[in-house]
């Protein structure tokens, strides 16, 4: 008896391997999901892909840095002049994406009224502003520190972050106080709030008319501190410092209303409120 022949197409099916496309693992968590103006968003990403993920916040591309095997982090600054409302955060991996809605909440900031005499509104030199802008634009691949920040000076906070101003009766739409002011006596030690590389040293006699004697610390990965109105500077450019190192003293150089330290804290060139960083730092 002859056995029936199997249909030829079944033979083809049996011999053809099933190819399964690999799916990369991609997870992303954001803190806080509902930031207030001036706060920093931290995006923690896990990915099994060989290529780093890409992050966008609205239309803006955000740098992503590796922090371990398959682990990445992105930091997103917000400011008092950022429009409140909904934004879309997109984390794009090799084969999939995560889309996370973010709601930026309004925050109430104090308002000051400043009256400037003639000529006082024109302070500042191109040399000064060019050097400060170049410092704030630094995005160094390495991260030099972790954990909570330290207070750079012991005095009380005389002017908080985000204060808005009227100048001679006109509201300054784009102005906000970009940091914390510590009221201290001239000569009070100023300490590094976190480890990093001294990337900027500027002196009043060199043309730093507004900032006065200035130190800029590159903490790495787009995070930076600028400390201004100093009396004395104890460091040089290129030097590495640790948190708590004495880098200078409080003074009254530049544009000032009395001896104090102004500490500005920047993420990707944007001034953010350093207060949450003093409490918890990077996770």
Q: Which band of pLDDT confidence, cut at 50, 70 and 90, is reported for residue 14?
A: very low
Which residues contact residue 77 at a Cβ distance below 8 angstroms, ignoring those fewer than 6 apart? Answer: 40, 266, 267, 268, 270, 271, 272
Query: Residue 10 pLDDT > 50, yes or no?
Result: no
- Closest listed residue to residue 176, CA positions, set 251, 77, 41: 77
Domains by residue range for the chain, with CATH: 26-104 (2.60.40.1930), 111-280 (2.70.70.10)
| Alpha carbon distances (Å) from 236 to 72, 75, 175, 239, 241 | 32, 28, 31, 6, 10
d(CA 126, CA 206): 11
d(CA 1, CA 231): 108
Write the secondary structure of 108-144 as one string of H (helix), E (strand) and C (coil). CCCEEEECCCCCHHHCCCHHHHHHHHHHHCCCCCCEC
Which residues contact residue 189 at a Cβ distance below 8 angstroms, ignoring those fewer than 6 apart? Answer: 153, 246, 248, 249, 250
Average pLDDT over residues 250-279: 94
- pTM value is 0.89
Tens digits of per-residue pLDDT, 85-133?
999 999 999 999 999 999 999 999 999 887 766 655 567 899 999 999 9
Query: Residue 2 pLDDT > 50, yes or no?
Result: no
- Closest listed residue to residue 230, CA positions, set 218, 217, 240, 220: 217
Supply the pLDDT for residue 87. Answer: 96
Query: Residue 31 pLDDT > 60, yes or no?
Result: yes
Q: What is the mean pLDDT of the chain?
A: 90
């Amino acid at each position: 008896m002859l056995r029936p022949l199997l249909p030829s197409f079944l033979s083809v099916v049996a011999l053809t391997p099933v190819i399964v496309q690999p799916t990369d693992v991609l997870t992303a968590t954001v803190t806080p999901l509902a930031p207030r103006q001036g706060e920093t968003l931290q995006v923690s990403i896990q990915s099994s892909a060989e290529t780093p993920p890409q992050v966008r916040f609205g239309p803006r591309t955000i740098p992503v840095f590796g922090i371990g095997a398959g682990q990445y982090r992105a930091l997103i600054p917000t400011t008092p002049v950022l429009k409140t409302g909904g934004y879309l955060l997109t984390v794009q991996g090799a084969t999939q994406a995560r889309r996370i809605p973010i709601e930026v909440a309004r925050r109430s900031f104090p308002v000051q009224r400043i009256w400037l005499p003639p000529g006082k509104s024109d302070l500042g030199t191109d040399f000064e502003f060019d050097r400060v802008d170049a410092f704030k634009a630094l995005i160094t691949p390495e991260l030099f520190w972790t954990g909570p920040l330290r207070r750079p000076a012991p005095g009380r906070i005389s002017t908080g972050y985000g204060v808005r101003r009227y100048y001679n009766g006109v509201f300054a739409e784009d102005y906000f106080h970009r940091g914390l002011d510590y009221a201290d006596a001239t000569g009070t030690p100023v300490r590094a709030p976190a480890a990093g590389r001294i990337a900027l040293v500027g002196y009043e006699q060199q043309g730093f008319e507004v900032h006065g004697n200035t130190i800029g610390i590159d903490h790495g990965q787009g995070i930076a501190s600028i400390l201004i109105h100093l009396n004395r500077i104890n460091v040089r450019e290129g030097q590495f410092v640790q948190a708590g190192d004495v880098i200078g003293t409080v003074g009254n150089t530049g544009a000032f209303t009395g001896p104090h330290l102004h500490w500005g804290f920047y993420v990707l060139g944007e001034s953010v409120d350093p207060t949450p960083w003093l409490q918890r730092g990077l996770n």
